[in-house]
Structure 1
Amino acid sequence: MGNLYATQPIGREITIDLARHLIHGHSIGDPQILTILNNTVIHVIPVIDTAFEQIWGDYPKELTTGWKKPTLYTCNNITADFKQVGDQIIGGVRVNGGLKSVATAFKHMLMEEKFDLVLNIEGGSGGIIYPKTGAKFELYGVYAEAYLKSAKGGVQCERNLKGTDDEITSAFYREYNVPVLTAKVSCCDYPFVGDIPYIWRQSLAPLMTVLTFTTTGVQGFVQDEKMAPMRNATVKVNGLDRTFDVTKTSAHFKIMLPPGQYTFEVSCHYYTTTTLGVTVVQGQLSFVRVILTKSTTINVETDTELTKPLVVDGAVTSGIRGYVKDNLNHPIPAALVTVVEQNVTVLSDDNGKYGVPVPPGTYTLEVSASGYHKEIKYMSVDDVSVNPQIVIFTLVKNTSVWGMPRLVFVIFMGFVCFMGLGLGLLCYLGCRKRSEYGLLSQNAFYEDFRDFDESKEKELFSRPLPEKPVTRPYFDDDDFSDADVSSDDEDDIVLLQSKQ
């Protein structure tokens, strides 16, 4: 990556040139570059601090020969009157506007991506800066020596300008568990444009040396006895202070290491820690497959740690020690052990062991863990001079669902599903039966009235035809006799005629 500081544009230029070099080498089939790209995922981030346009100074544009070493480095006068992104790493400094969001995004990227190695390119001085871990084996110090050897001692400068230093590098490693190697490729933080080609050619070999570190080391998988991936396993190399996690998909791990003999410890909760030796050869990734077996049961009688007195601030004190385990005698890590009277809660470690200092007295202990029923015990703590009280908790799996036993829950849910299917079937049949009523057929709604065919219609409520056809009208004057006509009707007719 480049431009952790806006005043370091040389990092941006060299980072882009390095990316172009890798792309071109891949296109022509360069063996070294193909090996690197086949074994490594490289993230190229040319610019971190985007505030380059806000800096001020003198920016001469004169061009020099470029391909030859300058007789004298002439640095542009470039300064910044604001706090840059690199200043955010050590904390306590706030920036305004867009730089604040850039710094926050950069920190999130470090936490989420979990890079194995970050190569930061800067100017302003010579050499390389790496994290000093204080471990027995300084892995990144070995990488720094290889870089300087390839650079033939590195750039020799009379001054050191502001940039990534040991304090910032330590903050990267301490807070984000990310090792950062900062290559100082130029005495100027902002050299002349014409000097950049020479700086690039001078920096290419040592930068490629750093990238080849990714092709040497150890990789493998962690599995159980049934060849299932152990996604929560961790891998530790003896002599290093860093623990490596496996991937959450296939439990794969890859660790960059220089050639040599190494001892690995692979561990996971409820499984026995496995130790193995591996030989690392230059330019190769040694492959190992680690099989973990279920851990043995807890043996309280042989554990001498339980009888040791509790020590607080250098003074021996009374207290309680013990284990939290399940009914199969397997340890339960991260169980909550609470002393009710003291309002004190501690967590059991990876082996299910816990210890809590308390003064002499009578106490109530509550232990709870995810997926288990809570257990309560009452006990007394004697005088300080005696060994701690040992209390072993055996938790029972909580198989209830929604407060019901699992079998009752299964029966209840089966009944609910059956009733739901029955109601759904009744609703379907009812809706289908209602759709059959109507004087018109269903097809009539989709037909054109011009092509309407009456033969397709069904009259649901038609009267049956009589056996004999009707040959006379249903009403005729012959049906009425003269007696049926009243005199009142005749009077009405006469009156109407008289008025006319």
Structure 2
Amino acid sequence: MKPRSLCASALAMALLLLYLCAVRQVRGQSGTPTGKKRSEEYTYFNHDEMTAFLKKVSTNYPDFTRLYSTGKSVQGRDLWVLLVTKDPQEETLLKPNVKYVANMHGNEAVGRQLMVYLIAHLLTRYNVDPYVRYLLDNTRIHIMPSMNPDGYEISKEGACTGTLGRYNARGVDLNRNFPDHFKTQTQQQQPETEAVRRWIHQIPFVLSGNIHGGAVVASYPFDNSPNAVFHTYNKPSVTPDDDVFQHIASVYSFNHANMYLGAPCSSDRQAFPNGTTNGAAWYPLAGGMQDYNYIWEGCMEVTFEISCCKFPHRRELPRFWDDNKQSLLAYLGEVHKGVRGIVMDEQGNPVVKAFLRVSNRTIGFKTTSRGEYWRILRPGRYTLEVSAPGFHTAKQDFIVLEQQISILNVTLKSLHEEPQEPEQLQPEPDSAQSAGPPPTVAPQENKLEALRQIPPPPQPLPPRFYFNGFKALPLPNNNPFEFPPNLRH
């Protein structure tokens, strides 16, 4: 063999060895310092460690984070939430609020730790990933790593089944403790439940994900049904927004490494076509958090079951992060679909708590203290009905296009004046146009200048699993997680 060939072969072998070494280090299998560092990063944080981490993040990233507590658990532990967004002290008009809640059942631990990795990913990728930049510039992302810190503290790593740590310190299942749409709840409200109810009442959340373990599926409302008895099992309880719920659940499932396959965790358990299910069709439950979000607060929440084992060994955490990273990011982008706008009176003042309802959808929602509203919708033609005490009811037609935000501002007329005919639907714009249907601008244009600054929603991610009509195309993932130095213990 020629010397040049020998050199080339040696170089190729050296590169191969370096690559294999890097892979082992990423998976925590190497005995090198780098491998040791990574295995330390992939571990579970107890409550004190989680508190220290969140405080360190908020100190090191003051322009992108704000740490706050929604209340305390039975045993006095804070229910921490980290707000991740550009300029967290500013509340930009029509900037939507999204949340992730994990560890509602204390022994379902994977989601709790994935929230740590999601926080680090969002903060460290802002300057290099246009999609992450868009999310932080245009979304207020609230992350609650643990709703049940007391239960987590007594849970055992490696326990794939069982209920030790599932309940709060009083032995109550928090996902059966919310007011229910179909059944009167007599169970005493727990401190954790009360804290979360106050939280979602004070902040106008548009979209939410509730992260659990024990299966691999995205489950959407309703969880309960009018006749939740044995014979109704395996029968869906459908919301008026079923098309939206099916879609956003599928966005998570098809961006996941394997959830979309719908495989059961064991041969004696249920399979889920496309990795999604209606909650009641799986099994009905009363007092669930996702139904409460939707009925009482107008927030669309989906439950993500992300691990067959409830509390797997820490060495499995790299795989779970890799499996779910794309899904967690893609789901956040769904809040930038549908329609949003401001409801005002004729003087340009916001109408607070105006009641809105989309055509043929019986579940309504309300405006904020600034007259804002948001609603996630699939592409199509709709009518928005808006009512408020002291005003004539208004109806306006609008169009929602794919990958675009529709802006629809509504001016309500006082009952002392005759209402005008509702505005007619505008013709659908040419496909070459990218701005979508023209917004209905109130006379006080100078008060709504902020609306014109809203950028279009993010383009689809370049995902490992691209969701497109229930088909998944595998692509490589070349961005393994690594803690930035300023967030390491």
TM-score by length of structure 2 reads 0.51
CA–CA distance in 2 between the matches of 1:228 and 1:12?
42
RMSD of aligned residue pairs (Cα, Å): 3.2
Aligned to 1:119: 209
CA–CA distance in 2 between the matches of 1:181 and 1:197?
24
Task: Please report how far the alpha carbon of residue 78 of structure 1 lies from its aligned counterpart in structure 2 after TM superposition.
Answer: 6.4
The AA in structure 1 aligned to 2:118 is L
The AA in structure 1 aligned to 2:324 is S
- Which of 399, 408, 413 is residue 293 of structure 1 equivalent to? 413
CA–CA distance in 2 between the matches of 1:241 and 1:204?
34
Query: Which whole-Å deviations, capped at 9, do the CAs of 1:204-225 have from their partners, x for residues lacking one?
Result: 2222221111111212222233
Change (3 A) 1:192 1:242: same
Pairing 1:79–2:187 present? no
Aligned to 1:134: 239
CA–CA distance in 1 between the matches of 2:193 and 2:338?
32
- Asked if 2 retains the 8 angstrom alpha-carbon contact of 1:123 and 1:188, the reply is yes
- Which of 397, 401, 404 is residue 284 of structure 1 equivalent to? 404
CA–CA distance in 2 between the matches of 1:194 and 1:289?
51
Pairing 1:221–2:342 present? yes
Q: Could you tell me which runs of 5 or more consecutive residues in structure 2 were left unpaired when the two chains were aligned.
A: 1-100, 180-184, 223-237, 271-281, 419-489
Task: Please report how far the alpha carbon of residue 30 of structure 1 lies from its aligned counterpart in structure 2 after TM superposition.
Answer: 1.9
Query: Which whole-Å deviations, capped at 9, do the CAs of 1:399-446 have from their partners, x for residues lacking one?
Result: xxxxxxxxxxxxxxxxxxxxxxxxxxxxxxxxxxxxxxxxxxxxxxxx
Aligned to 1:16: 116
Task: Please report how far the alpha carbon of residue 5 of structure 1 lies from its aligned counterpart in structure 2 after TM superposition.
Answer: 0.8
CA–CA distance in 2 between the matches of 1:144 and 1:166?
19
Query: Which whole-Å deviations, capped at 9, do the CAs of 1:433-491 have from their partners, x for residues lacking one?
Result: xxxxxxxxxxxxxxxxxxxxxxxxxxxxxxxxxxxxxxxxxxxxxxxxxxxxxxxxxxx
- Which of 149, 152, 166 is residue 254 of structure 2 equivalent to? 149
SS in 1 for 2:410: strand
- Asked if 2 retains the 8 angstrom alpha-carbon contact of 1:86 and 1:164, the reply is no
- Which of 322, 325, 328 is residue 204 of structure 1 equivalent to? 325
Aligned to 1:192: 313
Aligned to 1:267: 387
Task: Please report how far the alpha carbon of residue 175 of structure 1 lies from its aligned counterpart in structure 2 after TM superposition.
Answer: 4.9
Aligned to 1:43: 142
CA–CA distance in 1 between the matches of 2:410 and 2:394?
8
Task: Please report how far the alpha carbon of residue 22 of structure 1 lies from its aligned counterpart in structure 2 after TM superposition.
Answer: 1.6
- Asked if 1 retains the 8 angstrom alpha-carbon contact of 2:221 and 2:239, the reply is no
The AA in structure 2 aligned to 1:153 is L
Pairing 1:180–2:301 present? yes
Change (3 A) 1:12 1:274: same
CA–CA distance in 2 between the matches of 1:25 and 1:239?
41
SS in 2 for 1:206: helix
Change (3 A) 1:245 1:103: closer
The AA in structure 1 aligned to 2:392 is T
- Asked if 2 retains the 8 angstrom alpha-carbon contact of 1:125 and 1:155, the reply is no
- Asked if 1 retains the 8 angstrom alpha-carbon contact of 2:176 and 2:285, the reply is no
Aligned to 1:32: 131
The AA in structure 2 aligned to 1:51 is D
CA–CA distance in 1 between the matches of 2:173 and 2:131?
36
Task: Please report how far the alpha carbon of residue 202 of structure 1 lies from its aligned counterpart in structure 2 after TM superposition.
Answer: 0.8
Change (3 A) 1:170 1:229: closer
SS in 2 for 1:182: strand
Aligned to 1:385: none
Query: Which whole-Å deviations, capped at 9, do the CAs of 1:361-394 have from their partners, x for residues lacking one?
Result: xxxxxxxxxxxxxxxxxxxxxxxxxxxxxxxxxx
Task: Please report how far the alpha carbon of residue 195 of structure 1 lies from its aligned counterpart in structure 2 after TM superposition.
Answer: 0.9
The AA in structure 2 aligned to 1:140 is F
Change (3 A) 1:176 1:281: closer
Count of aligned pairs between the two proteins:
278
Pairing 1:55–2:154 present? yes
The AA in structure 2 aligned to 1:18 is L
SS in 1 for 2:125: helix
Higher RCO (CA-CA < 8 Å; seq separation 6+): 2
The AA in structure 2 aligned to 1:79 is L
CA–CA distance in 2 between the matches of 1:111 and 1:136?
21
- Asked if 1 retains the 8 angstrom alpha-carbon contact of 2:298 and 2:364, the reply is no
Q: Could you tell me which runs of 5 or more consecutive residues in structure 1 were left unpaired when the two chains were aligned.
A: 61-73, 299-500
Aligned to 1:326: none
The AA in structure 2 aligned to 1:226 is Q
The AA in structure 2 aligned to 1:36 is L
Aligned to 1:335: none
Instruction: Find the structure with the greater CA-based Rg.
Output: 1
CA–CA distance in 2 between the matches of 1:232 and 1:238?
19
SS in 2 for 1:134: coil
Give identity over the alignment, percent. 24
CA–CA distance in 2 between the matches of 1:155 and 1:176?
33
262-271 or 206-215, larger mean C-alpha shift = 262-271
Query: Which whole-Å deviations, capped at 9, do the CAs of 1:118-162 have from their partners, x for residues lacking one?
Result: 2111110011111135327542122223322333335641258xx
Task: Please report how far the alpha carbon of residue 261 of structure 1 lies from its aligned counterpart in structure 2 after TM superposition.
Answer: 2.2
Pairing 1:233–2:318 present? no
Task: Please report how far the alpha carbon of residue 194 of structure 1 lies from its aligned counterpart in structure 2 after TM superposition.
Answer: 0.9
Task: Please report how far the alpha carbon of residue 238 of structure 1 lies from its aligned counterpart in structure 2 after TM superposition.
Answer: 1.1
CA–CA distance in 1 between the matches of 2:324 and 2:118?
10
CA–CA distance in 2 between the matches of 1:105 and 1:49?
11
Aligned to 2:450: none
Task: Please report how far the alpha carbon of residue 56 of structure 1 lies from its aligned counterpart in structure 2 after TM superposition.
Answer: 5.0
